[in-house]
Amino acid sequence: MPTKVVAFVLSVLSFFAVWNMNGQPNSIPETREYIGEVPDKYGVWPAEEFEKGEKPWWLSVRLVEWGIALKEAFGGKTRMNSLLVLHRGKLVHEAYYGPQDSGWPADSPHHVQSITKGVLAALVGIAIEEGLIEGVDQKVIDFFPEAVIAPGQESKRDITIEHLLTHTSGLPGDGEAMLAWWRGDDGYWYGEDGDPGDLGIAAFELPQTGTPGKKHNYSRIGAYVLACALSRRAGMSVYEYAQEKLFEPTGITSARWDTYYDGSCIGGYGLFLTPRDMARFGYLYLNYGHWDDRQVVPAQWVARTPPRSKSILAYGYMVRNNPLLPLGSSYEFTGLYGQLISVIPAFDLVVVRTGSKIV
């Protein structure tokens, strides 16, 4: 078979998901393959700099660009700002795009939008391993014992950590009645009434719109509640916890995380990373949470990310699971305007794409 044909087939398979449009959980793998201790599979750990590598003969970057552009065409008009490809831990492609007067420098942190949720999920896995959280079945009310549960809202007591991770909590979803938050000149986010109280409590006390565990409903509010629960149990901000447990061990130095006026980190978005640091996070997951001589994120947590899902796009644990048959699996951390960290174990690849809206 001609090389170009093989490259085309592999590129398309790598970047187009065979999504379960009927939302039937039996067609979604519960875990990816994981056997025992994670070996040093690639022997490459990009700390301060990435090692440059040779692009595999079968990988067509042009077709990768076309594939991403086609996917983005269904989500609105966006402009690609960067594209990075890691193969076996080495940087085989790195490009930055944009108008001459507004290009995106390699060292400029990019708002990764809802990829923030995926980083938050990794932190939850770490917190469970450390015993700060009992497990995914722990009730969220345990973290907010002073919350006022309104009459008729008793099902809120049944919300678990896993419900928040899979957007099945029954809390308001995007587009529904939710707290109106806006950003002030000081850089902090404020509630509509300027109430200086605990926004985690305020979010948890919002009226239920569904029964926990019954239906997928994408919710920034749920992600925010999860961030506040983690922060309470860790005794520090989510950003501080991420710095200590995730960013520093993997050499991620560009991170900053927007906060609300009460100092709590935004759970669903607000994280900024350079494309290279996005690639480090993706590479961490490609290695089942293992980094150099340290297990940063529990391997079993990575292996179950995402789990069975009630979403028609197989979204769980803040990650989209895109089964590829018969070539293995790929999964993606995604964000608004085409932010992407794609982990493709079948081809030892991590692909990072950042983008912005075309006005």
Read off the pLDDT of residues 7-32 as tens digits, 9 standing for 90 and up: 444 444 444 433 332 233 323 334 45
**What are the Cα distances from residue 178, in Å, to 156, 195, 277, 284, 359?**
16, 15, 32, 34, 27
| pLDDT value at 308 more than 60 | no
Per cent of the chain over pLDDT 70 is 74
Q: Provide the residue ranges of all domains of the chain, joining segments of one domain with +.
A: 3-108+274-357
Residue that is written with structure tokens 């999504």 in the block: 19
Least confident of 13-17, 190-194, 242-246, 277-281: 13-17
Query: Which residues does 184 contact at the CB level (< 8 Å), separation at least 6?
Result: 190, 261
| pLDDT value at 287 more than 50 | yes
Q: What is the mean pLDDT of residues 351-356?
A: 92
| pLDDT band at residue 312 using 50, 70 and 90 as cut-offs | low
Architecture of domain 3-108+274-357: 3-Layer(aba) Sandwich (3.40)
DSSP secondary structure string, 68-131? HHHHHTTS--EEEEEEEEEETTEEEEEEE---TTS---TTS-EE-TTHHHHHHHHHHHHHHHHT
Kindly report the average pLDDT of the chain as a whole number. Answer: 80
Read off the pLDDT of residues 115-148 as tens digits, 9 standing for 90 and up: 999 999 999 999 999 999 999 999 999 999 998 8
Read off the pLDDT of residues 216-261 as tens digits, 9 standing for 90 and up: 888 888 999 999 999 999 999 999 999 999 999 999 999 999 987 7
Amino acid (one-letter) located at 335: G
| pLDDT value at 56 more than 70 | yes
Read off the pLDDT of residues 240-251 as tens digits, 9 standing for 90 and up: 999 999 999 999
pTM: 0.85
Q: What is the pLDDT of residue 297?
A: 96
Per cent of the chain over pLDDT 90 is 44
Q: What is the mean pLDDT of residues 320-348?
A: 76
| pLDDT band at residue 149 using 50, 70 and 90 as cut-offs | confident
Whether 274 and 82 have beta carbons less than 8 Å apart is answered as: no
Q: What is the pLDDT of residue 278?
A: 98
The C-alpha atoms of residue 241 and residue 133 are separated, in whole angstroms, by: 14
**Element at 330 (helix H, strand E):** strand 328-335
Q: What is the pLDDT of residue 102?
A: 54
